[in-house]
Amino acid sequence: MADVSHGHIVAAYDAEFKKLTKLISRMGGLAESQLANALTAIEKRDNALAKTVKDGDKEIDALEREIESLVVRMLALRQPVANDLRYIVATLRTSSDIERIGDYAKNIAKRALALNQLPAEPLLRGVVRIGRPVQTMLKDVMDAHLQGDTGKAVEVWEADEDVDALYTSLFRELLTYMMEDPRHITPCTHLLFIAKNLERIGDHATNIAETIHFQVEGVALGERRPKADASNYATLQPEDEDGDDDDDDLREDKDESDA
């Protein structure tokens, strides 16, 4: 973490910064674990692990609410400025991105449970190939947040382009596979949703990287680099058939799972 709390006159203020850092660190660690377990559940066809991931999302949600409450208290009572204010706001924004990452990991686990009822698909390795760099992005961006490391944040920001390219390649491969043999439509549809969830996790890690840069430098990272995800130029993506944002479908999926 950047040295944002050093030397405050009010000891309670320092304690609140330390608590905020501890909470976001815990939240990020849980998200990393959720993603890793979701990928393992797919790769090893482990239903018990997939169910653990589904249940674990509640803890991430609870931590986000705790961070929101603490941030509101700090803003109201401490009236922070400059570096302190940027760190507090950055942590709040980061917690929101982490919460979304937890939702996507939960969705992946739900798809794993469905996939495990079907014969193993050879294209599953393509999903794992996307998942590994996304895991690295998430770990690195959380390290960057806690250390105030803009260099590492920029590396994560740039790495998202490779993830987008992997997703586009797998998207086309899965469509081809389904057209060649209709029997593969159901499992490949699940794989498409999983791949899209992984791509979106990469996007949220990129969001965190941009937040870190603004927090430390006080300026935006710069013009958004072009996305390498060209799948929607080929055909409609599974989450985009209604023309809505991907997150709308995720919210519907989440509401359905909580019903």
| Whether residue 144 has pLDDT greater than 50 | yes
Give me the helix-helix angle, 185-217 and 82-115, nearest 10°.
Answer: 170
Closest to 1 in 3D by CA, of 211, 203, 146: 146
CB-hemisphere CA count at 13 Å for 191? 29
- Tell me whether residue 244 is in a domain: no
At 29-76, the pLDDT tens digits run 999 999 999 999 999 999 999 999 999 999 999 999 999 999 999 999
For residue 227, give the DSSP letter: P
At 13-27, the pLDDT tens digits run 889 999 999 999 999
This prediction's pTM? 0.82
Task: Please give the tally of structural domains in the chain.
Answer: 1
CATH number reported for the structural domain that contains residue 54 in this entry: 1.20.58.220
pLDDT score at 70: 95
Closest to 249 in 3D by CA, of 110, 67, 94: 110
Identify whether the C-beta of residue 163 lies closer than 8 Å to the C-beta of residue 200: no
- Tell me whether residue 240 is in a domain: no
| Whether residue 218 has pLDDT greater than 70 | yes
- Tell me whether residue 156 is in a domain: yes
The residue type found at 194 is I
- Residue 60: exposure state from Cβ atoms within 10 A (0-12, 13-18, ≥19): buried
The residue type found at 88 is I
pLDDT score at 232: 54
- Tell me whether residue 6 is in a domain: no
Confidence at 120, pLDDT banded by 50, 70, 90: confident
- Tell me whether residue 250 is in a domain: no
Q: Provide the domain limits for residue 213.
A: 11-230
- Tell me whether residue 3 is in a domain: no
- Tell me whether residue 5 is in a domain: no
Helix (H/G/I), strand (E/B), else coil: 5 = coil
| Whether residue 151 has pLDDT greater than 50 | yes
| Whether residue 254 has pLDDT greater than 70 | no
pLDDT score at 235: 47
| Whether residue 246 has pLDDT greater than 50 | no
- Tell me whether residue 104 is in a domain: yes
Give me the helix-helix angle, 185-217 and 150-180, nearest 10°.
Answer: 170
At 164-206, the pLDDT tens digits run 999 999 999 999 989 998 888 999 999 999 999 999 999 999 9
| Whether residue 147 has pLDDT greater than 50 | yes
